[in-house]
Amino acid sequence: GAVVSQHPSRVICKSGTSVKIECRSLDFQATTMFWYRQFPKQSLMLMATSNEGSKATYEQGVEKDKFLINHASLTLSTLTVTSAHPEDSSFYICSARPTPGQGKSEAFFGQGTRLTVV
Amino acid sequence: AQSVTQPDIHITVSEGASLELRCNYSYGATPYLFWYVQSPGQGLQLLLKYFSGDTLVQGIKGFEAEFKRSQSSFNLRKPSVHWSDAAEYFCAVGTTDSWGKLQFGAGTQVVVTP
C-alpha cells in the first residue's frame, strides 16, 4: 500500500500563535505534495502545491506568507499556519504524489488535521 | 480550466435500495476521475478511479462508476446500500498535465434510513 501520515490529527491553538502540520509519505517518495483546506460542510479546496527543493505554488487567494510550506525531503512536507486566527480554523488535508517509477498512478491522502484556533 | 459539478447536495436512501450519485465534469481532454468517501471528521477514502480504458469501473465496497464522455459524466452507483454507506461523497477530477492535483465537487451527503 501507500501510506501518508499527517500529524497532528487535531490541534487547538491560541489566536496569534503558529501551528505546524506535517505530511509524510511513509513507503514511497513524493516530489510533489498538495495541501487542501476544507471548511465545515464544504468541499476540499486546493491551497498550494509543494515541490521538493523549490518554492511552493499557491492557488489564487491563498496568502503565502500566512501559510508557509516547506518540502525539505522526498517524504516530508510541512504547512505552517502563522499568526493563526479563528477564521483559519479548518480541516487541512495533504496528499502526496509518488515520484514516477514507483508503480503508483495516483496521489495518496493523509488523514487530515483539524485545526481549531481559539 | 476544469470543473466538477455534483448536482445533488443531499440524498436520502433506504437501506437495501440502490444509490446513484451524479457527477459532471468540464475539461478539454480526457480527465482523470475519482470518487472519494468521507465519514464525519475523517479523511478521504478512495472508492474508485478512472484513467482510461474500460468505461465501467469497479471500486471498493460494492461501488461502481461509469465514464460517459458524451455526457461528461462519471456517476457513482451501488445496487444495495448499507447503513454504513452514510457519508459524504466527493467526485474529483485531475488532469494529465498535473496529475495528483485534484479539483473536487461540492460533495453529496448520503443519508441511509432503516
How much is the average pLDDT of A69-80?
94
Q: How confident is the model at residue B24 (pLDDT cuts 50, 70, 90)?
A: very high
Which of B49, B101, B103, B111 has the most A C-beta neighbours within 10 Å, making it the best mutation to test the interface with A? Answer: B101
β-bridge partners, B100: none
When pLDDT is cut at 50, 70 and 90, the band that residue B41 belongs to is confident
C-alpha to C-alpha distance for A85 and A81, rounded to whole angstroms: 9
pLDDT at residue B97 tops 80:
no
Residue A97 CB burial class (10 angstroms; 0-12, 13-18, ≥19): buried
Q: How far apart are CA B104 and CA A34, in angstroms?
A: 13
| Per-residue pLDDT at B68 | 94
Q: Is the pLDDT of residue B2 over 80?
A: no
Residue of B nearest to A3 (CA): B45
- What cell numbers appear for B3 in the block? 470543473
Query: Cα–Cα distance between B58 and B77 in angstroms, integer?
Result: 10
Q: What is the mean pLDDT of residues B30-35?
A: 89
A43 and chain B in contact, CB less than 8 A: yes
Between chain A and chain B, the number of residue pairs with CB atoms below 8 A apart is 51
pLDDT for residue A50 is more than 90 = yes
How far is Cα B97 from Cα A32, in angstroms, rounded to an integer? 13
Flag whether residue A62 sits within 8 Å of chain B, measured between CB atoms: no
Q: Residue A73: its pLDDT value, please?
A: 93
Q: Is residue A44 within 8 angstroms of chain B, CB to CB? A: yes
